[in-house]
């Protein structure tokens, strides 16, 4: 063998018959088997090395991350909403809380798809719903979604029993207990508290990135809306294991949800009830406020609504029906209207602070004034003779203040209106607030293409014309003379930090004294005689009657008490109620003041019982209340 291999090798080199090609083929045939194994071994070792290196990298460097990804794919959370935070009044009494309610959900992850049509039909019959309604709830939901889709809230006992008898939980239908927003006072403080409800598709699209889910309940109005982030809480739920196809395998445990924060507000529940009752059946509003701190003690608006009826998802048709012709969802305490003669507080301030009038100035009044082509009449069609600022306030003389406005000028009057906070939002914690309007030459040129006129100035001086203010802003105006010259920011949240919420308007002491003297005379012998009674301490105030065609006049009355150390400002407004501010709105203010100085409770209705209840001096009753 060795010789033959050598001979062949030698012959090939000498150029025998085989030649170079034949030698190559001959030698490859002889060594082919061994070389293949060697190459395969080398490739295999290299491959194993690469795989081993990769596995080592994944295990050592990416192990934690990959295990987490695998765990996330295997373990999912069936979300459960948190309990919403409570809202309490200033004395710790519940205004908005939660009650337990049975609801029915569809759980897509556990749903037996082959039985869906049958399940949908039978559940619809039990719940007295159209099948289309149930199907619409499922629109846009993944079949492997762990999020449950709420179908109906507040199940009846009969519905719960029938669902359990049907065995709905085996078909992906889940009957569960959840908290539902509850307002124990019904309509009480509805415009302040607002209401909650399920998000519609448009709202969900906006908030999905914030962690909101299909069927989530959010604040829709009032404090429920403003304080959504504080009241909402954090979601929890049930952790479940699923297989590679997303099918439920087993329950693993619970993740406890975090309840929302509780909130205390400045409203006094008892006084709020009195304020709402005082408005009666009128379209009206009332504000009661601490003139020193800006705390809102009561904010009433009529007509109102029951927020308990709005906890679920409301269809457009039902919403339209709930609105009604009188618009019960409008918070008239934050809506804007002409302030009428209550604005004469601003006109007086502008006159005295401008230096163009002294506190003891006297002007002749008339039946009417004709200025700039406009006629301005006094309400008694006769005038009140020669009077000063206190007398003009007492009798609410239009011809007196018209002359004042003419001499002061529009720019000064506009400037002081804005210093009193008109034409801008107060900053109260309610999204429905409107800023109102203090017009000027630019505004009139833009909207009417004509310049500001002397007639516009006269109109503004008596609270008419292009002037729009809210009852809340008017309450802030009355607080200025009541607290000695400070503009306060009204607020609803009970502020534990007691931060400063007022700013000095730098009024002359003589200006404040003149305002106080005039406002006191309004009650003591003028248009506010309804408050000149023994059931409350001596009070001050101002009436207003605004022309509001084509309907009846709007009416106003604002006041504060006691006159020496004011504790409370109350402003009442009636929309198209007629009758005059002193006749219609002042009695509303009186009822709230009586309750305030009686410890929050309304006085008895009969004269005999009222006399007995007020036999103790008002001062003593006030001190007892403040303790």
CATH number of the structural domain spanning residue 156:
3.90.1310.10
Looking at the structure, do residues 107 and 198 belong to the same domain, yes or no? yes
Looking at the structure, do residues 275 and 135 belong to the same domain, yes or no? no
Q: What is the pLDDT of residues 438-489, one digit of tens each?
A: 999 999 999 999 999 999 999 999 999 999 999 999 999 999 999 999 999 9
pLDDT at residue number 604: 76
Task: Return the closest-CA partner of residue 113 out of 175, 167, 172.
Answer: 172
Confidence of residue 47 (pLDDT cuts 50, 70, 90): low
Contact of 257 with 82, CB cutoff 8 Å: yes
What is the C-alpha R_g of the chain?
A: 40
Q: Where are the alpha helices (DSSP H) in 109-195?
A: 116-127, 131-137, 157-166, 190-193
- 495: enclosing H helix or E strand: none
Least confident stretch, 23-37, 141-155, 225-239, 602-616: 23-37
Whether the per-residue pLDDT at 61 is higher than 70: the answer is: no
Whether the per-residue pLDDT at 143 is higher than 70: the answer is: no
Cα 267 to Cα 90: distance, rounded to the nearest angstrom? 6
pLDDT at residue number 141: 67
* Residue 316 in tokens: 């457009």
Q: What is the pLDDT of residues 321-341, one digit of tens each?
A: 777 778 999 999 999 999 999
Contact of 578 with 552, CB cutoff 8 Å: yes
- Ordered DSSP codes for 235-272: -EEEEEEE-TT--EEEEEEEE--BPPPPEEBS--HHHH
Contact of 475 with 287, CB cutoff 8 Å: yes
Q: What is the pLDDT of residues 381-408, one digit of tens each?
A: 999 999 999 999 999 999 999 999 999 9
Cα 388 to Cα 381: distance, rounded to the nearest angstrom? 19
* Residue 544 in tokens: 């207003």
Cα 518 to Cα 538: distance, rounded to the nearest angstrom? 14
Task: Give the orientation angle of helix 344-354 with respect to helix 398-408, to 10 degrees.
Answer: 40
Looking at the structure, do residues 280 and 387 belong to the same domain, yes or no? yes
Cα 575 to Cα 332: distance, rounded to the nearest angstrom? 9
Cα 353 to Cα 503: distance, rounded to the nearest angstrom? 17
CATH number of the structural domain spanning residue 291:
3.40.710.10
Looking at the structure, do residues 54 and 115 belong to the same domain, yes or no? no
pLDDT at residue number 298: 98
Does residue 68 form part of some domain? Answer: no
Cα 469 to Cα 364: distance, rounded to the nearest angstrom? 30
DSSP state of 39: H
pLDDT at residue number 170: 57
Does residue 70 form part of some domain? Answer: no
Cα 107 to Cα 122: distance, rounded to the nearest angstrom? 16
Contact of 487 with 476, CB cutoff 8 Å: yes
Contact of 453 with 445, CB cutoff 8 Å: no
- Residue of higher predicted confidence among 377 and 122: 377
Task: Give the orientation angle of helix 19-60 with respect to helix 63-74, to 10 degrees.
Answer: 70
Boundary of a domain, candidates 213, 229, 263? 263
Least confident stretch, 113-117, 262-266, 302-306: 113-117
Does residue 147 form part of some domain? Answer: yes
Q: What is the mean pLDDT of residues 531-546?
A: 97
Q: Look-up: residue for tokens 């519609």?
A: 200
Does residue 65 form part of some domain? Answer: no
pLDDT at residue number 213: 78
- 375: enclosing H helix or E strand: strand 374-377
Cα 240 to Cα 232: distance, rounded to the nearest angstrom? 25
Looking at the structure, do residues 295 and 274 belong to the same domain, yes or no? yes
Task: Return the closest-CA partner of residue 227 out of 494, 425, 424, 501.
Answer: 494
Looking at the structure, do residues 44 and 108 belong to the same domain, yes or no? no
Q: Look-up: residue for tokens 């934050």?
A: 334
Q: Which domain holds residue 225?
A: 75-263
Number of domains the chain is built from: 3
Q: What is the pLDDT of residues 150-164, one digit of tens each?
A: 888 788 888 888 888
Q: What is the mean pLDDT of residues 72-79?
A: 61
């Amino acid at each position: 063998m060795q010789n033959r291999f050598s001979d062949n090798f030698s012959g090939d080199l000498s150029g025998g018959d085989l030649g170079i090609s034949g030698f190559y083929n001959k030698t490859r045939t002889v060594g082919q088997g061994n070389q293949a194994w060697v190459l395969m071994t080398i490739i295999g070792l290299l491959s194993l090395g690469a795989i081993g290196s990769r596995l080592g990298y994944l295990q050592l460097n990416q192990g934690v991350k990959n295990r987490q990804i695998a765990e996330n794919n295997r373990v999912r959370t069936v979300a459960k909403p948190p309990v919403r935070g409570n809202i309490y009044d200033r004395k710790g009494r519940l205004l908005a809380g939660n009650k337990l309610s049975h609801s029915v959900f569809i759980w897509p992850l556990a749903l037996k798809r082959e039985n869906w049509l049958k399940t949908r039909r039978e559940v619809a019959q039990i719940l007295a719903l159209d099948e289309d309604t149930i199907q619409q709830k499922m629109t846009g939901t993944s079949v492997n979604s762990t999020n449950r889709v709420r179908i109906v809230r507040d199940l009846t006992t009969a519905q719960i029993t029938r669902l359990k008898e049907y065995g709905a939980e085996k078909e992906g239908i889940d009957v569960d207990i959840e908290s539902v927003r509850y307002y124990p006072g019904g309509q009480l403080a509805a415009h302040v508290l607002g209401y909650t409800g399920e998000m519609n598709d448009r709202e969900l699209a906006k908030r999905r990135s914030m962690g909101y889910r299909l069927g989530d309940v959010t604040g829709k109005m009032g404090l429920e809306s403003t304080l959504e982030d504080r009241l909402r809480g954090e979601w929890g739920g049930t952790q479940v294991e699923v297989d590679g196809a997303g099918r439920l395998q087993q329950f693993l445990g619970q993740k406890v949800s975090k309840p929302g924060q509780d909130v205390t507000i400045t409203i006094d529940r008892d006084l709020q009830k009195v304020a709402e009752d005082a408005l009666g059946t009128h379209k009206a509003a009332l504000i009661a406020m601490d003139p020193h701190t800006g705390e809102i003690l009561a904010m009433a608006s009529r007509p109102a609504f029951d927020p308990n009826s709005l906890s679920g998802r409301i269809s457009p048709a039902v919403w339209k029906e709930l609105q009604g012709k009188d618009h019960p969802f409008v918070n008239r305490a934050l809506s804007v209207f002409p302030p009428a003669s209550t604005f004469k507080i601003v006109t007086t301030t502008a006159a005295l602070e401008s230096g163009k009038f002294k506190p003891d100035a006297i002007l002749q009044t008339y039946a009417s004034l004709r200025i700039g082509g406009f006629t301005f009449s006094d309400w008694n069609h006769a005038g009140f003779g020669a009077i000063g600022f206190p007398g003009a306030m007492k009798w609410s003389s239009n011809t007196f203040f018209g002359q004042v406005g003419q001499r002061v000028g529009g720019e000064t009057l506009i400037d002081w209106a804005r210093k009193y906070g008109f034409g801008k939002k107060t900053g109260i914690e309610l999204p429905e607030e409107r800023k109102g309007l203090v017009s000027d030459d630019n505004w009139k040129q833009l909207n009417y293409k004509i310049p500001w006129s002397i007639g516009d100035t006269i109109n503004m001086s008596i609270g008419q014309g292009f002037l729009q203010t809210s009852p809340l802003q008017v309450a802030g105006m009355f607080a200025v003379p009541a607290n000695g010259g400070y503009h306060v920011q009204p607020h609803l949240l009970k502020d534990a930090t007691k931060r400063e919420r007022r700013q000095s308007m730098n009024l002359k002491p003589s200006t404040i004294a003149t305002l106080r003297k005039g406002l006191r005379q309004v009650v003591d012998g003028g248009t506010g005689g309804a408050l000149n009674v023994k059931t409350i301490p001596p009070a001050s105030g101002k009436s207003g009657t605004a022309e509001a065609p084509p309907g009846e006049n709007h009416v106003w009355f604002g006041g504060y008490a006691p006159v020496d150390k004011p504790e409370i400002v109350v402003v009442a407004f009636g929309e198209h109620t007629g009758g005059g501010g002193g006749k219609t709105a002042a009695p509303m203010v009186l009822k709230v003041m009586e309750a305030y100085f009686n410890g929050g409770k309304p006085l008895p209705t009969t004269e005999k019982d009222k006399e007995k209840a007020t036999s103790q001096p008002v001062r003593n009753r006030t001190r007892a209340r403040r303790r």
